[in-house]
Structure 1
Amino acid sequence: MLRKVYPYACLNIDITWSQWFKALRKAIYTTENRAELSRKISGLFSNQDNVIVTVCIRTAFDLYLSALDLPKGSEVVITSINIPEMTRILRKHCLIPVPVDIHVDSMITPSDRLEKAITAKTKLIIIAMLYGVTYDLTDISNIAKKHNLPLFEDCSECYSGNNFRGSPLADVTVLSFGPIKTATAFGGGVVIVRDSKLLGKMQALHASYQVQPNSVYLIKVLRYSLGKIALNSTAFNYTARLLLLQLNIEYKKFVVKLMRGFPPSTGLEIYHFQPCAGLLSFLYWRLENVNENDLISSMKKVHVGTKILTDGGVLVPGYKSDRKMFWLYPVIVDDATKAYSKLNNAGIDAYRGISQLNKIDPPVGSSYTPIEETNKMFANLLYFPLHKDVPEKYIREICMKAVELLKPEPKL
């Protein structure tokens, strides 16, 4: 029997109701010019007119690969964790993803492992900054230059204010403002392209896409309001979550499905749209009003939780990194099934499948290196309700309770 519920979910929609109503108004009607809005958003991240604003990161990635036009059968060396759709897009372009195992304690893609994965077939390097952890790309950039390979930096999970532009060493950096990302606009991707020739190709191709109707954005804004109620409402988490858990109703599967940005698709045509004026207008308003200092300082209490957990013997991926802005909080346990049961019975909203992030398996063949650390991580990975909107009091309580519950059982 649950005696206490910590009223915060492991997934958070980073938006207030007043901000949501602003998005709703702009989705219903706006007279603002799309080109001018795109120019204003671009100006927040660069003064070189080298930014493309897309419907989403998947559109940006497909656009990039189309402009790059790599030979069919080329290998792409990629960080071993991403959403399955990114590897599906690679395969749709007839490219072969070759994952590079990470260091779990820092969430870094090690440069020595990356270079070992490069072969004569390698034509591209993709580095994903995971769970908001970022790091210096100097060594990886040097390897890319040595082998004459373009470097794509996926910072979809790393936005920490408009001064964050990714690494200037990457040829392309992407940022996401999807429904569960920091400073969400319920969509939108920012693509910073540092190769002028490639930029021209991407801009021309993007301009050929139809503009997504405002009605599509309106439906998203309305749909995600349900997710906000289920995830962000402390009243819901105090009452409904308690009742649903007692009835063994797995409501989180419904919420996760609700938060998916796009339905399944066999082709890539679903991404071939330009953002509507409503999305651009709200994205610009949202970014213009971000308080970067508040955003960064709000992470300090989450780092307090990280220290409690790691001091208590609980492994937090990326805990060794100096630069981390957790938008989703991962924890590795000894037995995920048992830990899930213990934590939820204690009122802590731990969950396994809340994110689409998953490991990328190597191609079949003995020449490819196994992703051992990544495999171990995903075998017993949970997500905790620790994010910037949880008060420090609850963060401390949740982490201390988790340490108590996750202590290894004494051997007889």
Structure 2
Amino acid sequence: MIPRGRLDITFSSLFKGIGFCVAELFGIRVPETLEDDENVLPCLSVRTGFDLTLRSLGLEPGSVLLMTNINIPDMFSIVGSHQLVAIPLPVNKHTLGISMTQLEDSITSGTKAILITHLFGAIMDIDAAVKVAKLHNLIVIEDCAQAFNGTYKGHPQADVVMFSFGLIKTNTSVTGALLRFNNRELHSKVKMLNDQLPVQNTRVYLKKLFKAIAIQVITLKLFYTLLCYYCRIAGKDIDVVLAGFTRGFPGADVMSKIRFRPCTANLRMMQLRARNFSIDRITLRKAVADSIIRMIPDSMKIGRLNAGHTYWVLPVVSENPEELINNLRKKGVDATAKASSLVKCGALAPSTEDELVVDNLVYLPVAHEVVNKLSGL
């Protein structure tokens, strides 16, 4: 069975991370600096950075935050915890961008900020959106959790740009995020609040590193095939089994889990990963994804008009996702509808035929072997 994907980290890096934890637990302190950039702030997660940003803004309850209408549930929960009103902006399935008409029509006197989220590894063109936002004095928060490619630093007029290095992200540090600010006042407030957070226990990070090693072993092709076979004969759902491994902040009370600073070992791992990142990994991933996409009808493609796509994940649209998944698994390809925890905020029915709908997406492994398996589907 071709696994749906492996963590973007080597065993060597994971063992170094364990070494960082052991050094910290034994009191061996090594200074860490992630970047020679005073506008960058390391955080425990993008969720943490988003929460800190909203706390720093001090918006009145009932204030409006425009949001790309597809994101992970926790981001919508964080907005609700600040008693803000989220107004969703639909995503175009071809460009993975938002409509300027819908954006302008959604702005009212109560609108204070906008969260623009790049999906699936694609980077949408947000020049027009940022221009509109700035004309209305909106705070622009750019969510690049799924869009790290080693070169894109965010829009120069975004007030804060958030990059994730969580467990399943590109160039993962297992846990961690970087916030890049173009708004000095906001940076100062966020940093002050972040400095007041307790440091996450090093043992928590150490446990996550061991879990990451287990995931890397399990997703080796032989072991993954055996796991799929076990799940089938035991009547277990492979998606449920894997979700227990990969959720960054499991459970309902997300706020109590994200309000920490990363431990020193986590910061050192982020530094190590940042220094050793190679753009060649992105280039190779794009080439493999392109070879798969050429086998797929245009009607099934997502983001085909997005020129900045790096395919962190490779979704396709299907009228019958379950049937497609079953057919692919019979061919030895572990496709899934649950490779991402993305949900839609707002009306369930799409407003136009070009709106992205997450319920009919199927995620394909980005692997050369998939190309041959797609024939006949």
TM tier relative to shorter chain: over 0.9
Aligned residues of 1:171 and 1:193 also touching (Cα < 8 A): yes
Deviations 1:167-187 (A, max 9, x none): 112111000000000111101
Q: Distance in 2 between matches of 1:146 and 1:184?
A: 36
- 1:223-238 matched pairs, under 5 angstroms: 223-230=211-218, 232-238=219-225
Q: Does residue 1:283 correspond to 2:277, yes or no?
A: no
Instruction: Within 5 Å, give how 1:51-66 maps onto structure 2.
Output: 51-66=40-55
Whether contact under 8 Å (2:90, 2:356) holds in the other structure is no
Range with greater deviation from structure 2 (151-160 or 332-341): 332-341
- Of 204, 217, 223 in structure 1, the residue corresponding to residue 192 of structure 2 is 204
Count of residues in Structure 1 that have an aligned counterpart in Structure 2: 374
Among candidates 357, 371, 374, match of residue 396 of structure 1? 371
2:35 counterpart (30, 42, 47): 42
- Equivalence for 2:364: 384
1:350 partner SS: coil
Secondary structure of 2:97's partner?
coil
TM-aligned CA deviation for residue 345 of structure 1 = 2.1
Match of 2:165 in 1: 177
Q: 1:32 offset after TM fit, Å? A: 3.9
Stretch moving more, 371-380 or 163-172: 371-380
Change in Cα spacing, 1:371 to 1:66, as seen in structure 2 (3 Å) is: farther
Residue 360 of structure 1, aligned match among 331, 342, 345: 345
Paired position in structure 2 for 1:332: 317
Q: Tell me the distance in 1 between the aligned counterparts of 2:79 and 2:354.
A: 20
Correspondence for 2:284: 297
Which residue is equivalent to 1:9?
Answer: 3
Residue 372 of structure 1 deviates from its aligned partner by 4.8
CA deviation map 1:220-276 (0-9, x unaligned):
11122222222x311113333245335543133121122111132436232221110
State, as a whole percentage, how many aligned pairs show the same letter: 26
2:118 — aligned with what? 129
How far off its partner does 1:371 sit? 4.7
Q: Deviations over 1:145-177 (max 9, x none)?
A: 11111111000011111x321111211100000
**2:75 maps to what in 1?**
86
Q: Which residue of 1 aligns with 2:143?
A: 154
Give 1:322's aligned residue: 307
Residue by residue, what CA displacement relative to the aligned partner does 1:269-312 show, whole Å, maximum 9, x if unpaired? 32221110110111111110111234323321211211221xx3
CA displacement, residues 328-379 of structure 1 (integer Å, 9 cap, x when unaligned)? 211101111222222222222111122111111259xxxxx96555876223
The one of 329, 332, 335 equivalent to 1:344 is: 329
Q: TM-score by structure 1 length?
A: 0.86
> Which amino acid letter does the alignment assign opposite residue 359 of structure 1?
K
- Give TM-score scaled by structure 2 length: 0.93
Equivalent runs, 1:91-170 vs 2, <5 Å: 91-161=80-150, 163-170=151-158
Q: CA deviation at 1:14?
A: 1.0
Equivalent residues of 1:361, 1:371 under 8 A apart: no
Q: 2: CA distance between counterparts of 1:78 and 1:308?
A: 33
Q: Deviations over 1:33-76 (max 9, x none)?
A: 4xx42xx2132xxx3x0111001111100000000111110111
User: Equivalent residue of 1:98, what SS?
Assistant: strand
SS of structure 1 residue aligned to 2:294: helix
**Structure 1 spans left out of the alignment, 5+ residues:** 1-6, 364-368, 406-412
Q: Counterparts of 1:24 and 1:355 in 2: how far apart (Å)?
A: 27
Instruction: Tell me, in whole angstroms, the C-alpha distance in 1 between the residues paired with 2:232 and 2:19.
Output: 36
Question: Secondary structure in 2 aligned to 1:184?
Answer: coil
Q: Is the 1:352–1:381 Cα contact (8 Å) retained in structure 2?
A: yes
CA RMSD of aligned residues (A): 2.0
